[in-house]
Amino acid sequence: MLEYPELGTKMEKVTKCPIDNSPKLKKIRVDNMAALKCSDCGLIFLHPFPKEEYLKDIYTKDYYLSWGIRNECDTTSKEIKKKFFNKILGIIQQYKKKGRFLDIGCALGYMLEVAENYGYDAYGIDINKYAIETAKKDIGDKKVFLGDLRSVDFSDRYFDIICMFDLIEHIKNPVELMKDAGRILNDNGIIVILTPNTNSLSAKLMRRYWFQYKREHLFYFSSNNIQRLAENAGFKIVKIMPAKKTTNLFYVYNQSQIYPVPIISNILRYVYPILTNRIQGMPIELSFGEMLVILKKNGHGPD
Ligand SMILES: [Zn+2]
């Protein structure tokens, strides 16, 4: 399997911003992790990146427990996730009504199920072995792949829609990933990205304590500098919008205990256990400071 070249190892000193080449990098701390912030475009990235062993440990079966998925039979969490994906597919429909659809970082494959319901020819890829084994049962062997984008030999311009949900902030070299995606995207295709936005209200309010600052999130983009990333990889932004997630209190509670947030985690620790199961599982719409970005190839695609 080909590995992405790494930007921020301890040995190699990063002297330029990976998306605009600015030398003006400032050392900062985000939730007690060392990071660099570009004074020109505002990009924030962990430096050095956490060790590979640490990241490998994160992406196991347990990763999905923090999503509020108690087990494979937990239909409530699955329904809530699918509800969110339904909403997103509704938006995608405005740009691409049909075609071949790839979800990079497809996890348990819920997005693929929803995409198929909409009539898309859906494929998925993920580095999580447990997730891919589960997804294969629902979607089929030939359309779900284990590994990163470079480990599967997709033909040029094969896909019409490529989704990257909660993915790009985890990748060690996002510019390379975008270029790879550009190769397998049809000239009239679109890329849909969901990622935390450092210009969001929660990021501004919580500053270095923002709940999106976590060890597996290596890069933190904003609604401004994601444009630069897009241009570097040969894309143009069609639309950027704030994204609310459909979730439930079970998820919020679990996240708040795994990644403590001042005050909120404490309140939930007392309040959550006295709520009924029905209330804990009820779907709610919440902003996690994320943005939904729709991109097309420069000089091609929908307007
Ligand atoms: Zn920069």
Whether residue 70 has pLDDT greater than 70 = no
39 CA → ligand 1 middle, Å: 7
Determine which helix (DSSP H) or strand (DSSP E) holds 238, and give its type and residue range. Answer: strand 235-247
Q: Tell me if 189 sits within 8 A of 162, measured CB to CB.
A: yes
Task: Report pLDDT for 27.
Answer: 95
Within 8 A by CB and 6+ apart from 23, the residues are 15, 16, 17
Q: What is the mean pLDDT of residues 55-83?
A: 67
Summarised one tens digit per residue, pLDDT across range 34-60 is 999 999 999 999 998 888 777 777 777
145 CA → ligand 1 middle, Å: 33
Summarised one tens digit per residue, pLDDT across range 202-224 is 999 989 989 899 988 999 999 99
52-248+283-297 is classed in which CATH architecture?
A: 3-Layer(aba) Sandwich (3.40)
Q: Tell me if 222 sits within 8 A of 198, measured CB to CB.
A: yes
Whether residue 86 has pLDDT greater than 70 = yes
User: What residue ranges do the domains of the chain occupy?
Assistant: 52-248+283-297
217 CA → ligand 1 middle, Å: 17
Determine which helix (DSSP H) or strand (DSSP E) holds 26, and give its type and residue range. Answer: strand 25-30
Nearest Cα residue to 243 out of 302, 200, 189: 200
More confident residue, 278 or 75: 278
CA distance 131 to 93: 26
Per the document, the length of the chain is: 303
CA distances from 172 to 65, 75, 167, 218, 298 (A): 24, 33, 11, 7, 24
**What are residue 270's phi and psi, to 5 degrees?**
-90, -40
Determine which helix (DSSP H) or strand (DSSP E) holds 86, and give its type and residue range. Answer: helix 75-93
Within 8 A by CB and 6+ apart from 92, the residues are 161, 163, 190, 192
Determine which helix (DSSP H) or strand (DSSP E) holds 36, and give its type and residue range. Answer: strand 33-38
Q: What is the mean pLDDT of residues 170-188?
A: 95
231 CA → ligand 1 middle, Å: 13
Whether residue 178 has pLDDT greater than 70 = yes
88 CA → ligand 1 middle, Å: 29
289 CA → ligand 1 middle, Å: 21
Residue 166, helix vs strand vs coil: coil
Nearest Cα residue to 229 out of 13, 36, 21: 21
242 CA → ligand 1 middle, Å: 22
CA distance 108 to 289: 23
Within 8 A by CB and 6+ apart from 91, the residues are 292, 294
Beta bridge partners of 185: 159
Q: What is the pTM of this model?
A: 0.88
162 CA → ligand 1 middle, Å: 25
66 CA → ligand 1 middle, Å: 32
